[in-house]
Amino acid sequence: MTSARPWIHDIVLDPPAINNNTADADRLAHALKIKLGIRPHISLALLKRLPRQLRDGGFHVRCIAFKHDDAWTLLGVTRPVDAAPAAVAVDLGTTRVVCRLVSLITGDRLHEIAFDNPQLQIGPDILERIHCADLAGGLNRLNELIVHSLNQAFERLAQACAISRADIYLISLAGNTAMTHLLLGLPPRWMIREPYIPVSNTPGFLPAADVGLDVAPAAGIRIFPNVGSYFGGDLIAGILHCGMHTAEDVTILVDVGTNAEVVVGNRHWLVACAGAAGPALEGGVTQMGMMAAPGVIDRVKIDPVSRRFFLHTIGNAPPIGICGSGLIDLAAQLFLAGMLDLRGKLSPATCGERLIAIDGMHALVVDETGKLLISQADFDSLIRSKAAMYTILETIVQTVGITFDDLATFFVGGTFGSFIRPESAIAIGMLPDLPLSTYRPLGNSSLEGATQILRSSADADQIDAIRDNITYIELNVNQDFMNRFSAAKFIPHTDADRFPTVKAVHRQT
Amino acid sequence: MTSARPWIHDIVLDPPAINNNTADADRLAHALKIKLGIRPHISLALLKRLPRQLRDGGFHVRCIAFKHDDAWTLLGVTRPVDAAPAAVAVDLGTTRVVCRLVSLITGDRLHEIAFDNPQLQIGPDILERIHCADLAGGLNRLNELIVHSLNQAFERLAQACAISRADIYLISLAGNTAMTHLLLGLPPRWMIREPYIPVSNTPGFLPAADVGLDVAPAAGIRIFPNVGSYFGGDLIAGILHCGMHTAEDVTILVDVGTNAEVVVGNRHWLVACAGAAGPALEGGVTQMGMMAAPGVIDRVKIDPVSRRFFLHTIGNAPPIGICGSGLIDLAAQLFLAGMLDLRGKLSPATCGERLIAIDGMHALVVDETGKLLISQADFDSLIRSKAAMYTILETIVQTVGITFDDLATFFVGGTFGSFIRPESAIAIGMLPDLPLSTYRPLGNSSLEGATQILRSSADADQIDAIRDNITYIELNVNQDFMNRFSAAKFIPHTDADRFPTVKAVHRQT
């Protein structure tokens, strides 16, 4: 059943009479069973309010109900004239959290807010938080931080739309496995210890109150399922959003957030892996500083002849730093201008005055004030990152027995996907040399996927099947892998023929 | 599936390995699905403890799980060497509450305690409590009284058996509809207003924590379903216990507690009614003071010739009052001795010195000290009660198109059933004149029925079907009914031929 409002059911009940005197809940459940095919579950929180709600509405009521795992749960009952019921889609990121208020009647996006994950104060990365969760009171503290901030966000969303938090009946949440565990108060201890075991990959559909979320009393929260410790619900939401699980052609989805996760496949099969699989890659694709803010350089152009720099900053403010996409642009342009060599080293011969030495290490002066420096170490780190990325991509396509050319579409998700220019990523050999039209940025695919199940029961029905259909492969960091990784640490690659468009441009310089 | 321990499943899990690294909950759910046929629901409370429990037991665990409505819910996980998991059956009466601790391993009764329903301090009868629930804070107060006393009882049960409250995983509770509502905090307001609508007849299976019961964190409570406001889960438990729903012969079950409920039928059909159906019966079968205590007269014998009284008191203590069964004995013996006439009036000619007048009303001196008096008003009340009882019985058998002689067994439940002597009840025309072997006292059938589902999944599976199979008939207090009631207000009846054994004895006096 897919409709504009799959979770809303307006019901006109026969009022009680001496010859029709079943209980309130049984009367409503019977009417809903006729409509839904199954008697819905009605929680105690809802039962307590039901007599008042049925009578206030003259037994003409609007029911909010959600289907999960072939079972329906009643989330609330209102009068049709009451404030319109709403839902929230949550992208629970390690760094940023985005909450989007959606009308359950129209499916419209009503409002959206984003905020830093307050667990950043405990630790910027997942590992630190998991270690903290092991300390006495640590898990509780991490849990309370995120729950409290979500409640605040729900309050702000409600106020912005002149509704009440109690008008929020459904929450759809996609996050990585660790963030999901911390939200639910589940100990993540075993996720980071071999063999990397989460508490649950399928928390499913829970009472929002059990999670501490203060919305409608019988509201529910649908948690996107995880494949494993390193492939979370945010990716399942991304797959749902890009639709690769329904396509006949083989496509690939790469999401680079805190980690790099890759899934390749079509409607018949899906194979996934994640970049945190081994120590060789640790930090490999994560240290590119993605934070975008005014003054951060996000685009770079270098004239290959004059070697003059053209810098673009966010908000056109004076440059204060560089973000991931800016750094990739910079490296690509430096390489094409001959200022960065095949090994990713700054070339004294071509960098000229822009090259300085600090503590015996080369650094590049990026801006005209001379204050913004990118060290050789930063470039080395980038080269490792891009090599890791390319090696993961190469490994997964080889594993499934295809080549890059077989990919009909290359979805790039996450913050990375929104800002990166594929031509630059190709130029440094981070992404394969495919036609630019193959690349498609997905934006916040986690949030979009989470939103979809608020609007479509068909989509809601699919997410467990998507998860179950994924074959997760451990990235075996063996000699083969390390050989590929070493080959990918050149710009664009030791085998330049793999990057014909780059080879063509590079020759010209 | 019926076994000695249907809710216990010992599971040996494959420990996590790099090539078998699903999540803890999914690993356990998968193993349980193989055993149970269905993946069980695992609550968040349980998920939080699961990693520790699995590892403490070396992935060899004992699972406590309950099936309801074709779904399994995991209630707890222990090591096989831990304290044996237990359950509690509760008979939630208006006046008395009985809690029985049962081993989920052996099914044995471990301990039992009874206490007065603390809501008695609000009001002795249901109606007063329902009115109280309508006042501000009233429902909360009633709810807290019973929840608190149950938690205390669970603590006492646990201590008596040297276990912990956290070893109690399952609660099975049978009570009348009003008591069930007050336990769950459901507003009973509409139950006592035409057309008498409960909030829910089928609360089903709930997390014990939702009800405020402090036992194992993920424990569940199975509430016996109601048929309606005046036919509650205690009766369903009684039917389960006496087994009338599986018999080929037609039998009848009468339960006289605060109310009189009757159900007649066999494995093919069940028809029920309750004695609180109309104002003509209000208080009709309820004012017989059932409280049994030391010194209360529970048996009376009168020599029909000498008219000498032989009184038996509980504990053989000096007489301080009389209970329902004692009063029925007394009336029967007085009638057979010619001291009570056909209309239930004390006869001056035969009572002699035992008859005194107080404020212009006759009273009978029962004991030798002359302090224990039973007034004519008490006898009048008894006559109304017995007439109501007989009329209800007559009406229901007529309604289903049978006669009393068609009844293979006459089950008498409740406190009434345990103590009453059928021969006395027949003598005053309260129960029909059937062979004494037809009558079978059931004891606390509500508690026994509640206990059965802790031991047998087949029994647990049946209770919703029993409820659904019952046709509840409203006792139409029309002219026909009133005519039958008037005829039954004689001892034993205006039509003495209906009571041949009484007629035979009465003639002899």
Which tokens in the block code for residue A67?
A: 């289907």
Nearest to B200 among A23, A195, A203 (CB): A23
pLDDT at A16: 97
**Count of A–B CB contacts within 8 Å?**
129
- Does B82 have pLDDT greater than 90? no
pLDDT at A258: 61
- Does A382 have pLDDT greater than 90? no
Mean pLDDT of B491-499: 95
Binned at pLDDT 50, 70 and 90, residue B282 comes out as very low
pLDDT at B296: 87
Looking at this predicted complex, what is its ipTM?
Answer: 0.92
What angle, 0 to 180 degrees and rounded to 10, lies between the N-to-C axes of helices B445-455 and B457-469? 130
Whether A479 has its CB under 8 Å from any CB of chain B: the answer is: no
Mean pLDDT of A213-221: 98
- Does A288 have pLDDT greater than 60? no
pLDDT at B281: 41
- Does A165 have pLDDT greater than 90? yes
pLDDT digits (tens, 9 = 90+) for B87-143: 999 999 998 999 999 999 999 999 999 999 999 999 988 999 999 999 999 999 999
pLDDT at A476: 75
Q: Is A20 helix (H, G, I), strand (E, B) or coil?
A: strand
Binned at pLDDT 50, 70 and 90, residue A291 comes out as low
Q: Cα–Cα distance between A335 and A420 in angstroms, integer?
A: 17
Q: Taking CB atoms and an 8 Å limit, are B47 and A200 in contact across chains?
A: yes
Binned at pLDDT 50, 70 and 90, residue A281 comes out as very low
Nearest to A48 among B26, B71, B185 (CB): B185
Mean pLDDT lowest for which of A158-172, A215-229, A262-276? A262-276
State the CB neighbour count (10 A cutoff) for residue A15: 14
At residue B362, what are phi and psi to the nearest 5 degrees? -65, 150
Nearest to B48 among A185, A189, A194 (CB): A185
> Mean pLDDT in chain A?
92
pLDDT at B34: 96
- Does A412 have pLDDT greater than 60? yes
Nearest to B24 among A21, A25, A199 (CB): A199
A222 closest CA partner among A470, A498, A471, A459: A459
Binned at pLDDT 50, 70 and 90, residue B279 comes out as very low
pLDDT digits (tens, 9 = 90+) for B235-277: 999 999 999 999 999 999 998 766 789 999 999 999 999 875 3
Whether B70 has its CB under 8 Å from any CB of chain A: the answer is: no
- Across B104-139, where does the E strand assignment appear? 109-116
Q: Cα–Cα distance between A99 and A155 in angstroms, integer?
A: 11
pLDDT at B257: 64
Residues on chain A touching B45 (C-beta within 8 angstroms): 210
Whether A134 has its CB under 8 Å from any CB of chain B: the answer is: no
- Does A283 have pLDDT greater than 50? no
Among A47, A173, A189, A211, the residue to mutate for chain B (most B Cβ within 10 A)? A47
pLDDT at A407: 98
Binned at pLDDT 50, 70 and 90, residue A280 comes out as very low
B391 closest CA partner among B505, B501, B269, B254: B254
- Looking at chain A, the whole-number percentage of residues with pLDDT higher than 70 is 95
pLDDT digits (tens, 9 = 90+) for B196-213: 999 999 999 999 999 999
* Residue with the larger pLDDT of the pair A266 and A317: A266
Residues on chain B touching A17 (C-beta within 8 angstroms): 195
A193: Cβ contacts below 8 Å, ≥ 6 apart = none
- Looking at chain A, the whole-number percentage of residues with pLDDT higher than 90 is 78
Peptide bond into B441 cis (omega under 30): no
Binned at pLDDT 50, 70 and 90, residue A3 comes out as low
Residues on chain A touching B21 (C-beta within 8 angstroms): 195-197, 228-229
- Are A325 and A385 in contact by the 8 Å Cβ rule? The answer is no
DSSP annotation of B220: E
Among B59, B72, B197, B471, the residue to mutate for chain A (most A Cβ within 10 A)? B197
Q: Cα–Cα distance between A74 and A31 in angstroms, integer?
A: 12
Whether A478 has its CB under 8 Å from any CB of chain B: the answer is: no
Binned at pLDDT 50, 70 and 90, residue A193 comes out as very high
B77: Cβ contacts below 8 Å, ≥ 6 apart = B28, B46, B49, B50, B53, B54, B57, B61, B62, B63, B64
Whether B13 has its CB under 8 Å from any CB of chain A: the answer is: no
Measure A132 CA to nearest chain B CA, in Å: 16
Residues on chain B touching A42 (C-beta within 8 angstroms): 200
Selected residues 157-216 of chain B with any CB under 8 Å from a CB in chain A: 184-187, 189-190, 194-203, 206, 210-211
pLDDT at A168: 98
- Point out which residues pair with A409 in neighbouring strands: A251
State the CB neighbour count (10 A cutoff) for residue B469: 16
pLDDT digits (tens, 9 = 90+) for A34-68: 999 999 999 999 999 999 999 999 999 999 999 99
- Does A290 have pLDDT greater than 60? no
Mean pLDDT lowest for which of A254-268, A448-462, B240-254? A254-268
Q: Cα–Cα distance between B313 and B344 in angstroms, integer?
A: 24
Measure B26 CA to nearest chain A CA, in Å: 6
Q: Cα–Cα distance between A207 and A219 in angstroms, integer?
A: 6
Whether A404 has its CB under 8 Å from any CB of chain B: the answer is: no
- Does B507 have pLDDT greater than 80? no
- Does A369 have pLDDT greater than 60? yes
Nearest CA in chain B to A187: B48
Whether B52 has its CB under 8 Å from any CB of chain A: the answer is: yes
pLDDT digits (tens, 9 = 90+) for A323-336: 888 889 999 999 99
- Are B7 and B64 in contact by the 8 Å Cβ rule? The answer is yes
Mean pLDDT of A457-469: 97
Q: Cα–Cα distance between A58 and A42 in angstroms, integer?
A: 20
- Are A131 and A140 in contact by the 8 Å Cβ rule? The answer is no
Mean pLDDT lowest for which of A222-236, A322-336, B177-191, B213-227? A322-336
- Are B77 and B52 in contact by the 8 Å Cβ rule? The answer is no
Residue B368 CB burial class (10 angstroms; 0-12, 13-18, ≥19): exposed
Which tokens in the block code for residue A223?
A: 């948690």
